[in-house]
Amino acid sequence: MTELKRLAIVSANIWKEAGKPKSGPIFSNYNKDKLRFKQAIRKERERETEVFTNDLHDALLRKSSKDF
């Protein structure tokens, strides 16, 4: 994640310095790095939710209704 963020920032800075072109290799590189970073964030959020859900499910299975 850290490396993807660094690449997205570098690409964004290069894109801004070039005058924010709407097409061409600088724009393509900027857009690609930005999308890759956003996808990584989305996957990490999904993974965290899945882990939380699985842990909660396991805890509920181990729960004893008699002790409650």
Residue 66 belongs to a domain:
no
* Tokens encoding 39: 């996808």
Q: What is the pLDDT of residue 45?
A: 87
**Quick check: is 43 in a domain?**
yes
Give 1's DSSP letter: -
Q: Give pLDDT tens digits for 7-40.
A: 999 999 999 999 999 999 999 999 999 999 999 9
Residue 65 lies in a domain: no
**Best CA proximity match to 30, nearest among 44, 40, 19, 42:** 19
Residue numbers of the domain that contains 48: 2-60
Residue 67 lies in a domain: no
Rounded to whole angstroms, what are the CA distances from 21 to 25, 27, 31? 9, 6, 11
User: What local confidence, expressed as pLDDT, does residue 58 receive?
Assistant: 75
> How many domains in the chain?
1
Token duo for residue 67 = 């002790």
Mapping DSSP to helix (H, G, I), strand (E, B) and coil, where does residue 46 land? Answer: helix
